[in-house]
Amino acid sequence: MTAITDKRIAVTGGAGFLGSFLLEQLEAAGAGELIVPRIENYDLTEQDAVRQMYADAKPDIVIHLAAEVGGIGANRANPGRYFYANMAMGLHLIEEARKHKIEKFVQVGTVCAYPKYAPVPFREEDLWNGYPEETNAPYGIAKKSLLVMLQAYRQQYNLNGIYLLPVNLYGPRDNFDLETSHVIPALIRKFVTARDEGAAEVVAWGTGSASREFLFVKDAARALVMATDRYNGDQPVNVGTSHEITIRELVELIAKLTGYEGTVRWDTSKPDGQPRRKLDTTKAAQLFEFEAGTGLEEGLRETIEWWETHGAS
């Protein structure tokens, strides 16, 4: 028996990228009924809809993955919407969790919450030591405020809420829409298309000097299951690999793995985003024994293969 064995678990965003893998791993770990509130039935930005979701689902545990999110371009285009939607969903879900006296609330935060110039590697203690990178600050701050809410609700109402900070995710089933996707799926789609069409060049955003850390989606899902099962503390915990790569190196690697032989042109009029991202993942290993198991090249190969097989559909 574990803390999730036979539990009714509601997973917001369970129909999405990370959610789909999380559901598979929760089921494998012995969870009971898994409930996925769909947006056509429950608009989680509305309190009445959230209240109805709790009444219908009667969850023991809620894992809140649902978010309105995108890459740099989407964040620049939708700062107000991203702040409101992410703030409202978390606000209502946590308040109703308290009222329904659920056993546990798992909030998935974002690496975008960290200060723009946080010391590298990012440690949880540095979360409040500065303002986030401007292009994704509204999203990051909305998510970060939910950490404060969970800590306050633990103090006043004894709600067992935990807060995890995953780094950038990638993998099969990701969002490959060039308008809203993150960097890895966007690059994979660009390079596969350019290869297949014989294009002479691919345009990449920025200078390539920024660095990022990437976590394979199956590892992220495993981390969530382990934390839901084993971690009950009030402090945020980073979830990642603790390895970084520059965007230029990433572009060269994806070009090689997709077999693209043309040139890359860097559009330096586009922003780089946060200069560096690399997490200190010590606490995840200590508190719930999580360590990432998939190397970047291995994960990229699987993601490229998935897109080549499923991309047209």
Instruction: Answer yes or no: is 87 within a domain.
Output: yes
pLDDT over 80 at 72, yes or no:
no
Establish whether 163 is a catalytic residue. no
pLDDT over 70 at 171, yes or no:
yes
Instruction: Answer yes or no: is 200 within a domain.
Output: no
pLDDT over 70 at 161, yes or no:
yes
Q: State the pLDDT at residue 274.
A: 80
Q: Residue type at 42?
A: Y
Q: State the pLDDT at residue 246.
A: 97
Distance between CA 284 and CA 2 in Å, rounded? 18
Q: Which stretch of 65-74, 172-181, 285-294 has the lowest confidence by average pLDDT?
A: 65-74
Domains: count for the chain? 1
pLDDT over 80 at 70, yes or no:
no
State which residues form the domain around 47. 9-170+215-242+278-294
Q: State the pLDDT at residue 311.
A: 83
Distance between CA 190 and CA 188 in Å, rounded? 5
Instruction: Answer yes or no: is 203 within a domain.
Output: no
Asked whether the beta carbons of 107 and 89 are under 8 A apart, the reply is no
182-203 confidence digits (pLDDT tens): 899 999 999 999 999 999 999 9
b or e along 270-286 (b: 16 or more beta carbons within 10 Å of the residue's beta carbon)? Answer: ebbbbebbbbbbebbee
Q: State the pLDDT at residue 73.
A: 79
pLDDT over 90 at 158, yes or no:
yes
The residues with which 202 forms a beta bridge, in sequence order, are 264
Could you write out the three-class secondary structure of 253-300? HHHHHHCCCCEEEEECCCCCCCCCCCECCHHHHHHHCCCCCCCHHHHH
- Dihedral sign of CA atoms 292, 297, 299, 300 in order: positive
Instruction: Answer yes or no: is 83 within a domain.
Output: yes
Here the CATH number for the domain that contains residue 74 is 3.40.50.720
Instruction: Answer yes or no: is 182 within a domain.
Output: no
Average pLDDT taken over every residue of the chain: 95
Q: State the pLDDT at residue 216.
A: 98
Instruction: Answer yes or no: is 129 within a domain.
Output: yes
219-265 confidence digits (pLDDT tens): 999 999 999 999 999 999 999 999 999 999 999 999 999 999 999 99
Q: State the pLDDT at residue 312.
A: 62
Q: State the pLDDT at residue 313.
A: 62
Asked whether the beta carbons of 235 and 124 are under 8 A apart, the reply is yes
Instruction: Answer yes or no: is 90 within a domain.
Output: yes
Instruction: Answer yes or no: is 32 within a domain.
Output: yes
Confidence of residue 74 (pLDDT cuts 50, 70, 90): confident
Mean pLDDT of 133-158: 96
Mean pLDDT of 84-103: 98
28-47 confidence digits (pLDDT tens): 999 999 999 999 999 999 99
Mean pLDDT of 142-156: 98
Query: What string of DSSP letters covers 41-80?
Result: T--TTSHHHHHHHHHHH--SEEEE-------HHHHHH-HH
Residue percentage of the chain with pLDDT more than 90? 90
Sheet containing strand 237-239, edge to edge, reads: 34-35, 9-12, 61-64, 104-108, 161-166, 237-239
CB < 8 Å & 24+ apart, contacts of 23-29? 24/221, 25/218, 25/221, 25/222, 25/224, 25/225, 26/225, 26/228, 29/2, 29/4, 29/5, 29/225, 29/229
Residue percentage of the chain with pLDDT more than 70? 99
Q: Residue type at 294?
A: T
2-16 confidence digits (pLDDT tens): 999 999 999 999 999
Catalytic residue among 42, 54, 114, 139: 139
